[in-house]
Structure 1
Amino acid sequence: MALFGVPHVLAGVDARLLFAGVFAVLLTASARPLGDVRARPLLVLAASPLVALPMAVGGDDLPVIGLVCMGLALAARGRPGTAGLAVGAAATLKATAWPAPPVCLALCLAPTAARG
């Protein structure tokens, strides 16, 4: 999270804007691999009060939520390496992201187990 404070020191950019910007970019990028129909829950997430409040007051959980969404979307598309990187980055930022790696692993292993 200290990474988001560096632009404030160097250029005076508020970290709250960076939190919201990174979240928006990651959520948009995670909706792209899923397609139009399966991306609707991500749009509901972005509009929910649980995200709107931290976005309004500058919560530092927004980049973590974005990375978890990105990792789960990549795992659902069968890209375990990049999914692991995204979820691993989220888990290093905040301990609240630790439930995501087992879910990501289950999503990555599910197609393999179904084939036999």
Structure 2
Amino acid sequence: ENHTKMLKEEHEVAVLGGPQSSMLPRSTAIHIQSEASVPDHIVWSLFNTLFMNWCCLGFIAFAYSVKSRDRKMVGDLTGAQAYASTAKCLNIWALILGIIMTIGFILLLVFG
């Protein structure tokens, strides 16, 4: 009689699929944010400061790159990303303006 009861319980567990907790998939996600995940564009900013500093955009971009690096050092990755984004935008404008002004200056020398 006891043996029959155990078989009946095992059959119920097999049909019902066991406890609900065993049916849920278990996974663990570990998010590792490294310092390389937020580029500060400091080398590009330094280049623009030295060679493409029209309207001081290169210098301002360099200042934002330094601020981004400072934020990254204290662990504020959101602030670092914001400063890095501004530095990148300023670097793009400094580069575009620098190329246009340099070409214009060369054309002025050649044809003027």
TM-score normalized with structure 2 length: 0.36
